[in-house]
Amino acid sequence: MLVEAYANCMKQSVPRWLSTDNAIIAAYLEYVDKVCPCVLLLHSQGGAFGFKVAEQRPDKIKAIVAVESATAGIVANAAKLKDIPVLMLFGEMSTSIPAGLPSRRSTPSMATRSKQPAARSIGSISQTSASRATAT
């Protein structure tokens, strides 16, 4: 029974090899063209694909939420994302915070933070856009 459950689980996964990246990007682009405008919800290695897609379809992406993303896209293409709000989240206990982001040691404590003004909102997202958010 355990072997059958594992086999069923594995049927739902998509293997990733270096030779499949272009096919993955093409599939995401096709999906974005079909369902967006939308908010992209990216996680880990999916961040690399999501940012590449956003760089190619910036007019269709309303915002990007990247949770512990492996990358934030290609630096040379950053100007393509200038009008897209991006929220990048990393685990507070992470010991490998990317360069330039505040580490746990350099951020104020929760008590100090609660006395500071709230962070600026990226604006409201319509229910339609939010329900179309794509996860990778």
What number of residues does the chain have? 136
The residue-averaged pLDDT of 98-127 equals 45
122: its two tokens: 């990226």
Instruction: Give the span between the Cα atoms of 69 and 77, in whole angstroms.
Output: 17
Does pTM surpass 0.75? no
Residue whose C-alpha is closest to residue 88's, from 35, 133, 51: 51
Task: Give the residue with greater pLDDT, 97 vs 54.
Answer: 54
* Range with top average pLDDT, 7-11, 94-98, 102-106, 123-127: 7-11
Domain positions in the chain: 32-95+102-114+122-136
Instruction: Give the span between the Cα atoms of 59 and 57, in whole angstroms.
Output: 5
Task: Give the residue with greater pLDDT, 18 vs 21.
Answer: 21
DSSP 28-78: HHHHHHHH-SEEEEEETTHHHHHHHHHHH-GGGEEEEEEES-S----GGGG
The residue-averaged pLDDT of 26-54 equals 94
Instruction: Give the span between the Cα atoms of 45 and 34, in whole angstroms.
Output: 23
